[in-house]
Amino acid sequence: DGGITQSPKYLFRKEGQNVTLSCEQNLNHDAMYWYRQDPGQGLRLIYYSQIVNDFQKGDIAEGYSVSREKKESFPLTVTSAQKNPTAFYLCASSIDYRRNTGELFFGEGSRLTVL
């Protein structure tokens, strides 16, 4: 079955540590996205990538970094510079960034808790 796989589902981190969240898709989609979800704040865009080897900052990119070396993979690193990293992180993809009509397909999310 095609879809988006995020791992790990739950992650605990000590302050000052970097952590990387994995996102893999086998939908052959060009575009991939990372969103952060906090209670009552909806989804906020962290980074997005329209095509391999290219990515753009979203609304809240500070303290995060990404790479897009392969079409299937778009890992997100939460660095120690992120002031409040405890949140639910969602990865998504869409078929073709040129077709703005395309809906996003989401993974199941990763919940990061900083201890």
Residues at the contact surface with other proteins, assessed by CB under 8 A: 4, 6, 33, 35, 40-43, 45, 48, 50, 58, 88, 90, 92, 97, 100-101, 103-109, 111
In sequence order, the 6+-apart residues with CB closer than 8 A to the CB of 13 are 19, 78, 85, 112, 113, 114, 115
Nearest-approach distance from CB 83 to other proteins, in angstroms: 21
Q: Cα–Cα distance between 70 and 79 in angstroms, integer? A: 22
Query: Side chain identity at 70, as an amino acid letter?
Result: K
Nearest-approach distance from CB 97 to other proteins, in angstroms: 6
Sequential DSSP letters for 77-106: EE-TT-S---EEEEEEEES-TT-TTPPPEE
Kindly tell me which of 80 and 102 has the beta carbon lying closer to other proteins.
102
Nearest-approach distance from CB 54 to other proteins, in angstroms: 11
Nearest-approach distance from CB 16 to other proteins, in angstroms: 27
Kindly tell me which of 48 and 74 has the beta carbon lying closer to other proteins.
48
Kindly tell me which of 11 and 80 has the beta carbon lying closer to other proteins.
11
DSSP state of 73: B
